[in-house]
A and B are shown apart, each in its own frame.
Chain A
Amino acid sequence: MSSELIYQPISQLADQLASKKVSSVELTQAIVARTKAVDPKVKAFNSFDEADALAQARASDERRAAGQARGPLDGIPIGIKDVISVEGQPLTASSKMLANFVSPYDATVTKKLKNAGAVCWGRLNLDEFAMGSSTENSAFHTTSNPYDLDRVPGGSSGGSAAAVAAGEAIATLGSDTGGSIRQPAALCNVVGLKPTYGLVSRYGLIAFASSLDQIGPFTRTVEDAAITLGAIAGYDPLDSTSFKTEIPDYLAELSKRKGPWKIGIPKEYFGEGLDPEVAAAVEKAVSYYEKLGCEIKNVSLPHTEYGVGVYYIIATAECSSNLGRYDGVRYGHRSKDAKDITELYFKSRAEGFGPEVKRRIILGTYVLSSGYYDAYYLRAQKVRTLIRQDFLNAYKEVDVILTPTAPTPAFKKGEKASNPLAMYLSDIYTIGVNLAGLPGLSIPCGFSKSGLPIGLQLIGQPFKEAELLSIAHTYDRAHDWATRHPNL
């Protein structure tokens, strides 16, 4: 019974909940049991609150019994990356700095999920403050890739990806600053969607790089991504960068929109460093669309090579400022033996932050400092505009851009941990999307010979999530990659 439940998509579970074949309490209990059974191996969670989850599930069942069910998410356990606040629950950002911090308020996405009836379930591991591509930078523990426990699940939302892959949540929320949803989704054989910047409120998301961060869902299917996105998208008066736009019924739009589409293949994404097995799987997906009647066009994104450099200037600049608030004065880690205020700052931050966070703060402080601002930050912003322009130019000819999500399947733990630059390159195909503020989605598109998942990235036009999801759904429906599960 339980193994049937834990791997079902939201769309099917919603029917079973509606027809009362299963209750939210039963579903939540199955998820809790699964988590207790496999998480000692996967380590996707930083913490979970079983009693709180079951109380939410009971409330959902009572609503349903009273004829007041709220839609497809009502009663569905959804895990939340430990960088998005849930009132009364820990909010650690996988950092010693916030190891004992409990959030006194709900993020807007959390509120929206609760309003949709979802059961907010557990706090999922990540690279500290969402900085990393392997979840090895968590101050607590490294999450394992459910398909190979010696390998990383990707990052920074590695816990969120691994939890869905391992059946420890029906869906999860992550955040994506340079690929932190799509890359781990690809490495863990799940669907990961990074929405257009401004579509989903960032209020309650611990900021890493404000102009790049965006919250999005991990799900088993594209259909589920459409359902979850519909619940969390929309203008939020608490987020000045949130966009006032009509939110379509993404689920209803999925099958309404039919191709054939014009699909762009950027030559810059298929060069050196791309694993041959990944290239082969992605090319197979391209030929699927071609057979479907889609027009495959070569496009060029000429400023791609600057993406990683520009990203690490802008992201670190913003993070150096955003992380200033973790100083031990009001909350979070405070050094015990500081003698004066300067020591309090130095020691609290030295003890509270891990090496990757420190590296980025130092880099960001440098690129913003007077005398270097024009040479680095300002120039990076200009190149960022060019990168966005590349995409918008391409969209004059195509509806969507198709690329690999990550250059390689999941790598081994420790393999890149000592080489930050090598690690940074695992986001090479996803970073441009954040710099340009576009929606991007990763779907499973095959496995390597050694059984590791491979992901396909589709990059859409601003605020055209409905179309992006339709294109992905067409592929998803015709393939069964997502129905394969790890052997745990």
Chain B
Amino acid sequence: MKYEAVIGLEVHVQIKTRSKMFTRVAAGYGHDENTLTDPVVLALPGVLPVLNKAALDAIIKAGLMIGCEIPAVCKWDRKNYFYPDSPKNYQITQYDQPICIGGHVEIELPGPSRNVMGEHKKIPVTRIHLEEDVGKLNHGAIDSLVDYNRAGTPLMELVSEPAMHSADEAYAFLTSLRNTLVYGGISDCDMEKGQMRCDANISIRPIGEKKLGTKVELKNLNSISFVRDGIEHEIKRQIAVLESGGTLIQETRDYDGQTGASQSLRTKEMAHDYRYFPDPDLMPVKVDAEWKSRIQSGIPELPFDKQRRFQEQLSVPFTITSVLVPDRDLSAYFEEAAKLAGPGKAQAVGNWIVNDLLRELGASKLSLADSKVKPAHIAALVKLVDAGTVLTSAAREIFVEMFATGDQPDGIAERKGLKAAPTDAGELEQWCRDSIVANPKALAEFKSGKDSAINAFKGPIMKAAKGKANPKAVDETLRKLLATM
């Protein structure tokens, strides 16, 4: 029997705010244990929460970016459960009236080859809500210590519809969501720092069947690759159980990305009763049209929209846009350089960035912000090549020097004698004549209409010019002469 997987994701993302969600103490990562706390974070007797509006702004922005509806009112609920990393033993979250409803995440599936864009799909989103994060347990040999630095950090939870059917789709969903949230400045989505975490709900059913199969929740997926591996593993496991005549049980499983194994955490019967109820310490929040439009006006272009624009309006191929677009800063860098280089030069600009700049940055372990090569450098270099002032081979050398020194390409070309020689027209014409005469075969081909045959004449000319002839002038002179022959 052929099976189809049905996958829904619950993604938790830490929101980038200066302070925590319900108090003024700073939010942050990598500080000494329990230094980012105050009476509210530690839930001391008598304290009360006060909402950080910046966290709400961020969620509304995230929602508007993926086309969610923002209801006029959202409210706060308590999710009650006992766990030592939860200081109040309830978590303030949103149960039945979240900030964002609906929307979708556009995804791109792997293409037939690396150089070709894959299929795009829209995966519907159920909701996004805001809640507070919990602390962290550090288990020792005989004790467990709690660090509340993370407790109370604003956390968004996005729940997708069960509308994905493969591990690849889930992988693409998370990649796209991460790009979008990074673009919006909502989170850095660094999974290593726990800024983005994911649970997956997976079931399988025979192809053609409408009813959903028994759902298994996979927890502890803390990298995008682990999500893909975990889901693949789980689909195989479920199929194997059914094929061997077994039945699946509704359960929560813990997936270990390192070992690739999963184990049961709890079954439906052991599920928590969270006893949700409206938090009496917090008032419902009214989100009016003015608030929404203020946030709407700050929303950036979405990654895939940007990619389409680069390809359609700037004629930059997928191979380049697929490298540029996932990185917001790199895209902005590219756009600035392309603008400075002028119309029609975007692809050349893109080539320099994707091939040379990224290679040099990688080799020197520098970030884009550290680069001495600025967009203006790239634009200037493209212009030099385009004008024939330097040859492509020389330009490569110039780039390396430019990367090391931050000097302008024109100056480097001058200093290092890399400029194409200003050719004496008579001398050039003589070299061209010599070359044509020396290659009657190519001449015959050219005259019979094979335009590319012209290239056969260029090598000897360059040799004669010691590599410094302006290729544009060489081409023009050759064509002029050939026309008379």
Q: What chain A residues lie within 8 Å of B332 (beta carbons)?
A: none
Q: What chain B residues lie within 8 Å of A238 (beta carbons)?
A: 48, 50
Contact A324 B89 (CB under 8 A): yes
Q: Which residue of A lies closest to B88 (CB)?
A: A325
* A345 to B89 alpha-carbon distance, docked (Å): 11
Q: What chain A residues lie within 8 Å of B64 (beta carbons)?
A: none
* A203 to B39 alpha-carbon distance, docked (Å): 11
Q: What chain A residues lie within 8 Å of B281 (beta carbons)?
A: 207, 210, 240-241
Contact B280 A210 (CB under 8 A): yes
Which residues of A106-135 are within 8 A (CB) of B? Answer: 107
Cross-chain contact of A105 among B39, B89, B90 (Cβ < 8 A): B39
A239 within 8 A of B: yes
B42 within 8 A of A: yes
B116 within 8 A of A: no
Which residues of B381-405 are within 8 A (CB) of A? Answer: none
Which residues of A63-106 are within 8 A (CB) of B? Answer: 84-85, 91, 93, 98, 101, 103-105
Chain B nearest Cβ from A462, distance in angstroms: 16
Q: How would you classify the secondary structure of chain A's contact residues: helix, strand, loop or mixed?
A: loop
Q: Which residue of A lies closest to B86 (CB)?
A: A324
* A369 to B271 alpha-carbon distance, docked (Å): 13
B45 within 8 A of A: yes
B275 within 8 A of A: yes
Q: Which residue of A lies closest to B23 (CB)?
A: A238
Contact B82 A327 (CB under 8 A): yes
Which residues of B246-283 are within 8 A (CB) of A? Answer: 273, 275-277, 280-283
* A330 to B80 alpha-carbon distance, docked (Å): 18
Cross-chain contact of B44 among A104, A239, A317, A318 (Cβ < 8 A): A104
Cross-chain contact of B46 among A84, A241, A324, A377 (Cβ < 8 A): A84
User: Provided the pairs A321-B275, A325-B87 are in contact, do residues A240 and B283 lie with their beta carbons within 8 angstroms?
Assistant: yes
Contact B50 A98 (CB under 8 A): no
A329 within 8 A of B: yes
Cross-chain contact of B42 among A202, A207, A330 (Cβ < 8 A): A330
Q: What chain A residues lie within 8 Å of B84 (beta carbons)?
A: 327, 329, 341
Which residues of B80-131 are within 8 A (CB) of A? Answer: 80, 82, 84, 87-90
Q: What chain A residues lie within 8 Å of B277 (beta carbons)?
A: 317, 321, 368, 373, 377
B89, B273, B282, B283: which has the most chain A beta carbons within 10 Å? B89
A331 within 8 A of B: yes
Q: Which residue of B lies closest to A95 (CB)?
A: B45
B437 within 8 A of A: no
Contact B275 A368 (CB under 8 A): yes
* A189 to B78 alpha-carbon distance, docked (Å): 40
Contact indicator per residue, chain B 22-64, by CB within 8 Å of chain A (1) or not (0) = 0000000000000000010011111111110000000000000
Chain A nearest Cβ from B269, distance in angstroms: 14
* A85 to B47 alpha-carbon distance, docked (Å): 10
Q: What chain B residues lie within 8 Å of A85 (beta carbons)?
A: 45-46
A211 within 8 A of B: yes
A365 within 8 A of B: yes
Contact A107 B46 (CB under 8 A): yes
* A207 to B88 alpha-carbon distance, docked (Å): 12
* A377 to B77 alpha-carbon distance, docked (Å): 14
B146 within 8 A of A: yes
Contact A324 B82 (CB under 8 A): yes
A205 within 8 A of B: yes
Q: Which residue of B lies closest to A209 (CB)?
A: B280
Which residues of A33-78 are within 8 A (CB) of B? Answer: none
Q: What chain B residues lie within 8 Å of A331 (beta carbons)?
A: 42, 44
User: Provided the pairs A321-B90, A324-B80, A329-B146 are in contact, do residues A104 and B45 lie with their beta carbons within 8 angstroms?
Assistant: no
A234 within 8 A of B: no
Contact B43 A240 (CB under 8 A): no
A398 within 8 A of B: no
Q: What chain A residues lie within 8 Å of B273 (beta carbons)?
A: 369-370
Contact A325 B282 (CB under 8 A): no
Cross-chain contact of B89 among A202, A205, A325 (Cβ < 8 A): A325
Contact indicator per residue, chain A 236-253, by CB within 8 Å of chain B (1) or not (0) = 011111000000000000
* A325 to B92 alpha-carbon distance, docked (Å): 13
Chain A nearest Cβ from B228, distance in angstroms: 33
A206 within 8 A of B: yes
* A240 to B285 alpha-carbon distance, docked (Å): 11
A460 within 8 A of B: no
* A210 to B278 alpha-carbon distance, docked (Å): 11
Cross-chain contact of A202 among B48, B51, B87, B90 (Cβ < 8 A): B48
Chain A nearest Cβ from B426, distance in angstroms: 85
Chain B nearest Cβ from A3, distance in angstroms: 35
* A205 to B46 alpha-carbon distance, docked (Å): 4
* A205 to B45 alpha-carbon distance, docked (Å): 8
Q: Which residue of A lies closest to B272 (CB)?
A: A370
Contact B47 A203 (CB under 8 A): yes
Contact B275 A369 (CB under 8 A): yes
A204 within 8 A of B: yes
* A202 to B144 alpha-carbon distance, docked (Å): 34
User: Provided the pairs A324-B88, A330-B87 are in contact, do residues A103 and B46 lie with their beta carbons within 8 angstroms?
Assistant: yes
Chain B nearest Cβ from A339, distance in angstroms: 12
Cross-chain contact of B48 among A93, A98, A240, A327 (Cβ < 8 A): A240
Chain A nearest Cβ from B81, distance in angstroms: 9
User: Provided the pairs A325-B87, A369-B273 are in contact, do residues A103 and B80 lie with their beta carbons within 8 angstroms?
Assistant: no
Contact B43 A206 (CB under 8 A): no
Contact A370 B45 (CB under 8 A): no
Cross-chain contact of B45 among A98, A237, A241, A369 (Cβ < 8 A): A98
* A324 to B89 alpha-carbon distance, docked (Å): 5
* A382 to B251 alpha-carbon distance, docked (Å): 36
Chain B nearest Cβ from A197, distance in angstroms: 10
Contact indicator per residue, chain B 139-182, by CB within 8 Å of chain A (1) or not (0) = 00000101000000000000000000000000000000000000
Cross-chain contact of B49 among A209, A240, A321, A370 (Cβ < 8 A): A240
Contact B87 A318 (CB under 8 A): no
* A212 to B46 alpha-carbon distance, docked (Å): 14
Q: What chain B residues lie within 8 Å of A105 (beta carbons)?
A: 39, 44
Q: Which residue of A lies closest to B38 (CB)?
A: A105
Chain B nearest Cβ from A296, distance in angstroms: 36
Q: What chain B residues lie within 8 Å of A317 (beta carbons)?
A: 277
Contact B45 A101 (CB under 8 A): yes
Contact B82 A206 (CB under 8 A): no
Q: What chain A residues lie within 8 Å of B276 (beta carbons)?
A: 368, 373
Contact B45 A324 (CB under 8 A): no
Contact B46 A325 (CB under 8 A): no
Q: What chain A residues lie within 8 Å of B89 (beta carbons)?
A: 324-325, 327
Contact B78 A207 (CB under 8 A): no
Q: What chain B residues lie within 8 Å of A210 (beta carbons)?
A: 280-281
Chain B nearest Cβ from A328, distance in angstroms: 10
Contact A93 B45 (CB under 8 A): yes
B48, B281, B283: which has the most chain A beta carbons within 10 Å? B48
* A85 to B46 alpha-carbon distance, docked (Å): 7
Q: What chain B residues lie within 8 Å of A203 (beta carbons)?
A: 46-48
Q: What chain A residues lie within 8 Å of B51 (beta carbons)?
A: 240
Q: Which residue of A lies closest to B79 (CB)?
A: A321
Pairs of residues from A and B, 3 with the lowest C-beta to C-beta distance, nearest first: A324-B89, A211-B280, A210-B280
Instruction: Pull 27 A–B residue pairs with CB atoms less than 8 Å apart, ordered by A.
Output: A103-B46, A104-B39, A203-B47, A205-B46, A237-B50, A239-B48, A240-B50, A240-B51, A241-B281, A320-B80, A321-B78, A321-B275, A321-B277, A324-B80, A324-B90, A325-B45, A325-B89, A327-B82, A327-B89, A330-B42, A330-B87, A365-B275, A368-B277, A369-B273, A369-B275, A373-B276, A377-B277
Interface residues of A (CB under 8 A from B): 84-85, 91, 93, 98, 101, 103-105, 107, 202-207, 209-211, 237-241, 317-318, 320-321, 324-325, 327, 329-331, 341, 345, 365, 368-370, 373, 377
Known contacts A204-B47, A345-B82; 10 additional CB pairs below 8 A are A85-B46, A105-B44, A207-B46, A240-B50, A317-B277, A325-B45, A325-B87, A327-B82, A370-B275, A373-B277
